[in-house]
Chain A
Amino acid sequence: MSQEIIGPGHTYATVTDKISAIVLTRKWSRHWLLGFGISFVFVMLLMVAITYLLVKGIGIWGVNVPVGWGFAIVNFVWWIGIGHAGTLISAILLLLRQEWRTSINRFAEAMTLFAVACAGLFPLLHLGRPWFGYWLIPYPSTMNVWPQFRSPLVWDVFAVSTYLTVSLLFWFVGLIPDLATLRDRASGRLGRIIYGILAMGWRGSAIHWHRYDIAYLLLAGLATPLVVSVHTVVSFDFAVGIVPGWHSTIFPPYFVAGAIYSGFAMVMVLAIPIRAAYGLEDFITMRHLQNMAKVMLATGLIVAYGYLMETFISWYSANQFERYLTLNRWTGPYGPIYWALIIFNILIPQALWFKRARTSVISLWLIALAVNIGMWLERFVIVVTSLHRDFLPSSWGMYYPTIWDWSTYFGTIGLFLALLFLFLRFLPVISIFEMRTLVEKTEAQ
């Protein structure tokens, strides 16, 4: 039973009915309202934090010289990284014909979209004058000024906006046949109209499916290099600078591995409660959770290798600033954060070597949560410890987050969860047509 990717006895009709019923016939549950309500309170907190920021400027955050990046960039990198698992599951695992991906790809893609949306807020708010954000886009302005394309910050704009657009397209294309299912099964007029408009008149013609399959595969092929490029470009924001601890060629691969690591952890943190709340244990089985645990273990080891190499190179480079940086990470004022990062990101996930940890839902959930915290701490260490003590001791300083830093951060977590709750309520959380294909394939065997 634990090795199956779909529970026994399911037919085309039962998978369709079971998944679409979550959206169509389920009553508004008290748990959903409570969860959405709490998330919405945090969305309001985000609104207050942003409004105050626009009124007063980024002086309300703890950022100042020498730490000019602070929480804004820590959270940006953290959210972008979380998004990566969605694209990895939907695109790379599709190309590798990993059929177990089918029941988790839809909400992993939704998670990507919401995470990238949260991520995009931070650099925008960090601009200081966000209403001039469009200056980053090349357009023929009356000032005759163009963006400077040799800067990784401009690359970032292109990478993140392309990533958001392609993820949205991929997600929407995957949804079209399921929207048609909802249109055909909705009992209310409003539902039929809304799902009908969104389904765009999809009727499952064999010729349409043929083109659809081609488009979907091509999108997967395009999204695969894209997802690797996005976190690479994000790592260039650091690696292109000459700040000790940033100027390193290991950044791109280790950022990408870290992104997948934290993304799978977030999928796990979300999937475990969702499958319990909606009774989807037949579709998101222990096999899925175990596979994700193994991916986490593997990428976690790559991340550990990254930390090890950073330390080794700082010694091997014989560069006093690089060496000091490592000592400062270990024993400086932010030392406890570094050691917490090692515990959360490296030590705790080693439990996944043991089958008992991989087969217990509670231990998986706690480990995944630890990884998410650990990856956030990693970004904090990278951004803050490198900046706060660079070459010249007279310009050293400390960074302390203010209440507004925390409000914005928790506000985006609220936004992420609120969007996720809406998604669970109004769209099929599992790809119905791909589950039918899976039924067909498992029957044929």
Chain B
Amino acid sequence: MSKEAPVYGLLAEFDTPEDLIQAVRRARAAGYRKMDAYTPFPVEQLSEELDFHHSALPLIVLIGGLVGCAGGFFLQYWISAIDYPLNIGGRPFNSWPAFIPVTFEMTILIAALSAVLGMLGLNGLPMPYHPLFNCPRFALASRNRFFLCIESVDQNFDREATLKFLSELNSKGVSEVAGE
């Protein structure tokens, strides 16, 4: 690596999601691994092309739901049958059918919280600062442009060679992203 100012990576800009998918494919073929694509709306194929297949999120939500379900039911069971038994119209203390609505609501509540917090946590959000925000063109990633960033931590990364590689793709321009 050179002695110049540190770079986070090189950012290539594309007009359409198809061009970006092509670019990701060719970058992977060229041996690049540490890269990410940025789009203004979800493009399903991209995560596949970036070799990201399985997310832990569904499992987190399932566990959250089960915890909510069991926790909700046993909270009511423990309160109504053990800690504070009340005779309501001669019903059994563990009158489980009456506990179903709250059990259901707790299942949904904890599962939904796990889905949102899990998604944010796995994505490393909130993250107010990121080197990509140093690049003025990157603001268009939330409007109408599609970006591919090859990061400087990639072992094949070389400022000149990677710049040349990205410029030869069907891109609308390549810019350097300052590090730190």
CB contact under 8 A between A155 and B115, given known A12-B144, A162-B108, A204-B38? no
Q: Which residues of B contact A211 (CB under 8 A)?
A: 55, 57, 119, 122-123
Q: Does B50 reach chain A (CB closer than 8 Å)? A: yes
Most buried by B among A17, A162, A203, A226: A203
Interchain CA distance A217-B166 in the complex, whole Å = 34
One of A59-67, A104-112, A146-154, A323-331 at the interface: A146-154
Whether B109 pairs with A165 at a CB distance below 8 angstroms is yes
Tell me how far the C-beta of A123 lies from the nearest C-beta in chain B, rounded to whole angstroms: 16
Indicate if B153 sits at the interface (CB-CB under 8 A). no
Which residues on B sit within 8 Å (CB–CB) of A201? 125-130
B83 and A146 form a contact (CB under 8 A): yes
- Closest approach, in angstroms, between the C-beta of B100 and any C-beta of chain A? 9
Contact with B along A123-154 (1 / 0, CB 8 A): 00000000000000010000011111110101
- CB-CB under 8 A from B141, the residues of chain A are 184, 203-204
Bits for A152-172, please: 1 = Cβ < 8 Å to B, else 0. 101100110010011001101
A229–B107 Cα gap in the complex (Å)? 12
B117 to chain A minimum Cβ distance, whole angstroms, is 9
Asked if A180 CB lies within 8 Å of chain B CBs, one says yes
Q: Which of B95, B111, B116 contacts A150 (CB 8 A)?
A: B95
Type the 1/0 row for B135-146, where 1 means its CB is closer than 8 Å to any CB of A: 000111111100
Q: How large is the interface on B (under 10, 10 to 19, 20 to 34, 35 or more residues)?
A: 35 or more
Q: Are A150 and B91 in contact (CB under 8 A)?
A: yes
CB of A213 within 8 Å of the partner chain: yes
Complex Cα distance A209/B125, Å? Answer: 12
Does residue B161 face the partner (Cβ distance < 8 Å to A)? no
Residues of chain B within 8 A (CB-CB) of A159 are: 101, 105
- Nearest chain A CB to B46's CB is how many angstroms away? 4
Judging by beta carbons under 8 Å apart, are A148 and B88 in contact? yes
Q: Is A294 an interface residue (CB 8 A)?
A: no
Contact residues in A for B9 (Cβ distance below 8 Å): none
B112–A209 contact, CB under 8 A?
A: no
Residue of A nearest to B36 (CB): A205
Flag the segment in A313-321, A367-375, A385-393, A429-437 that touches B: A429-437
B38 A215 Cβ-Cβ under 8 A: no
Asked if B99 CB lies within 8 Å of chain A CBs, one says: yes
Instruction: State whether A206 touches B144 (Cβ < 8 A).
Output: no
Checking A147, A155, A162, A215 against B116 with a beta-carbon cut-off of 8 angstroms, the contacting residue is A215
Q: Which residues of B contact A138 (CB under 8 A)?
A: 75, 79
Q: Are B38 and A206 in contact (CB under 8 A)?
A: yes
| Given known contacts A148-B88, A150-B98, A212-B119, A205 and B76 CB-to-CB distance under 8 angstroms | no
Is A197 part of the contact surface with B, judged by Cβ < 8 Å?
yes
Report yes or no: A149 in contact with B102, Cβ–Cβ below 8 A. Answer: yes
Tell me which of B95, B109, B120, B132 contacts A200 (CB under 8 A): B120
| Chain A residues whose CB sits within 8 angstroms of the CB of B111 once the complex forms | 218, 222
Q: Mind listing 11 A-B residue pairs with CB under 8 Å?
A: A138-B75, A148-B80, A159-B105, A166-B108, A181-B143, A205-B36, A205-B37, A213-B42, A218-B111, A222-B112, A225-B104
Interface residues of B (CB under 8 A from A): 17, 36-44, 46-47, 50, 52, 55, 57-58, 61, 65, 75-76, 79-80, 83-84, 86, 88, 91, 95, 98-99, 101-102, 104-106, 108-109, 111-113, 115-116, 118-120, 122-123, 125-130, 132-133, 138-144
Seed contacts A152-B101, A184-B142, A222-B112; 9 additional CB < 8 Å A-B pairs: A11-B144, A147-B79, A150-B95, A202-B125, A205-B38, A205-B123, A207-B52, A210-B52, A437-B41
